[in-house]
A and B are shown apart, each in its own frame.
Chain A
Amino acid sequence: MTGTISIYAVVATLLQVVMVALGAPLLVGIMAKVKARAEGRVGAPINQPLRDLRKLLTKERLHARHASVVLVIAPMLIMASTVVAVAISPLVSTHPLLGSSADILVIVYLLLTGSAAAALAGLDPGTAFGGMGSSRAMTIGALAEPAFLVAVIALSIQSGSSNLPSIMVSTLAHPQWVLGPSRLLALGALLIVVIAETGRIPVDNPSTHLELTMIHEAMILEYAGPELALVTLGETMRLGLLFSLLANLFLPWGIATHSSTLSLVAGVVSLALKTVLIALGVALIEVRSAKLRLFRLPELLAGGFVLSVLAVVTGLVTR
């Protein structure tokens, strides 16, 4: 890998970024559509999130009067950390540029950088809702993070490496791992973590601005225009990244493992199919469940944590 940069690696990296940037809003649109249909409404077209982004980009930049430079920098930080994480993760191909540094801890902390920036941006204008939202988001983040890390350790125990591409390659080589108890438990834990991190329904309701319950919406309340577009796109891409990682860690089939045009095309198609499948699953969870009370959230996240510990121990026992 050193020295020469393969053209396929560059193409794969670009494909990943473009695909997540355009595909993740569509995933959100699909989830909204499924929810609407399940509730007997027609719902917005699935490209509505993309249209919203385009509309926001044409609007004027406005800042709150007391806001500092944090409010300006945070959207860029959120976007930049997410784009880097998307670029180096193995989503379309197992050999993107810098794939060797796609350690799972790097990805977790890149995403954490984005969350920390969002929380600071919520605090910055000094409004009550922003502070409340940041505090809640950090509480949930602090509870979800251990479960995330431990679940990922469970995955790396089996493959003997915490590098994402090599976890996927070794899963492809040992398909029986996928239905092993350790994998299934880690899948359960990661599903809870992903729902918490992306602020979907049992944890947060992305479609309301009800002040008592909102978490993520409260943080970005002070943003308008292009900066709101940047924050929203960043958060949506993070959802796309988490869904794609979930899909590829547990069903890696289809991902491009060698450098050819055909396998890249197969990688793109399979990634799209798998993430749509996960989006449908998450949308069904959202339809079937009500938002949990904030004080019940630690129960859910502690459940995720104990599942991930269980995944590690069964992984060690059955090794």
Chain B
Amino acid sequence: MNSTYIATLELAAGAVLLSAIMTLWRRNVRSIVAMLSVQGMALAAVAIVLALHEHEHALLITGCLVFLVKGLVVPHLLRRVSLLDPRSRESRPLVNVPASLVFAAALIVLSYVVGTRITSLSPSSATHLAPLGLATVLVGYFMLVTRRRAVSKIVGLILVDNGIALVTFLLTSGVPLIVELGSSLDVLLVVVVLQFLMVSMRRHSDTDRLTEMKALHD
């Protein structure tokens, strides 16, 4: 029982970071969004496995909520946003894909070096995995700064959010339900706002590259 618990937890936490890497790797916006959906589900799996192990009902509810919002609703909305744009590729990121993958590798090593110092303060099978969440956060920030398209930036933001959620689950076995509810709905709101923004940006300037927008009109 205990070894299955650890194995599942490791697998799910690994899947969260792996899907973050995959979003950097793939160019097609649709497969990036699919990876995001996988990440949301893996994150939910982490929460649910932890909840079953520690018998925390609130965490179980949080897990189901994460599954619904981050695994299904947010990717669905993003898919609809990306359908607005026929050119569904991240064409010219500021840092090219091979370089950003190598950079991601460096970020992973960095978060391992930093993360293990923190987790060694209170070692347990769950806290050991926290560096993976830290790495997800860093990869998310990297995506936020280096990608030009609005959809990619939102994906970066969601990666950061998912990484923070993963660290929280692993270190504290979950925050109060209301906090998690707040942050999940926050992301949902951002995506909905993005959808409106994209439509109006497209109407104005026929692009969704944020760097190419020089001024805001009303």
Contact = CB atoms under 8 A, between A and B. Distances in A.
A305 B132 contact: no
A52 interface: no
A179 interface: yes
Given A179-B11, A185-B18, A299-B97, A318 B129 contact: yes
Contact of A306 (B10, B104, B112): B104
A185 B101 contact: no
A4 interface: no
B101 A299 contact: yes
A307 interface: yes
A313 B109 contact: yes
B112 A316 contact: yes
Interface string A182-213: 10110000000000000000000000000000
A128 interface: no
A310 B17 contact: yes
A185 B98 contact: no
Interface in A268-319: 298-299, 301-303, 305-307, 309-310, 313-314, 316-318
B7 A317 contact: no
B15 interface: yes
Nearest to A301: B98
Contacts of A176: 3, 7
Contact of B14 (A185, A302, A305, A309): A185
B132 A317 contact: yes
B147 to A, nearest CB: 15
A274 B105 CA distance: 32
A181 interface: yes
Given A176-B3, A185-B14, A317-B129, A302 B98 contact: yes
B178 interface: no
Contacts of B15: 181
Contacts of A301: 98
A305 B18 contact: no
A316 B116 CA distance: 10
Interface of B is mostly: helix
B17 A180 contact: no
Nearest to A318: B10
Contacts of B104: 306
B102 A306 contact: yes
A299 B25 contact: yes
Interface in A132-191: 176, 179-182, 184-185
B14 A314 contact: yes
Given A298-B98, A306-B102, A314 B132 contact: yes
Contact of A318 (B18, B25, B128): B128
A179 B15 CA distance: 13
A180 B7 contact: yes
Contacts of B25: 299, 303, 306
A179 B8 CA distance: 10
Given A305-B101, A313-B109, A317-B129, A180 B10 contact: yes
A202 B3 CA distance: 38
Contacts of B99: 302
B192 to A, nearest CB: 32
Contact of B131 (A184, A299, A303, A313): A313
A10 B105 CA distance: 43
B81 to A, nearest CB: 25
B32 interface: no
Contacts of B74: none
Contacts of B155: none
B112 A313 contact: yes
A251 B21 CA distance: 26
A307 B20 CA distance: 12
A302 B102 CA distance: 7
B10 A299 contact: no
Nearest to B22: A303
Nearest to A304: B101
Interface string B104-117: 11001100100010
Interface string A67-87: 000000000000000000000
Interface of A: 176, 179-182, 184-185, 298-299, 301-303, 305-307, 309-310, 313-314, 316-318
Interface of B: 3, 6-7, 10-11, 13-15, 17-18, 21, 25, 97-99, 101-102, 104-105, 108-109, 112, 116, 128-129, 131-132, 135
12 contacts: A179-B11, A181-B13, A181-B15, A182-B14, A299-B98, A302-B98, A306-B105, A310-B18, A310-B21, A310-B108, A317-B128, A317-B132
Minimum-distance CB pairs A-B, first 8: A181-B14, A302-B98, A309-B105, A302-B101, A298-B98, A306-B101, A306-B105, A299-B97
Given A298-B98, A313-B108, 7 more contacts: A179-B7, A181-B18, A306-B25, A306-B101, A310-B14, A313-B135, A314-B132
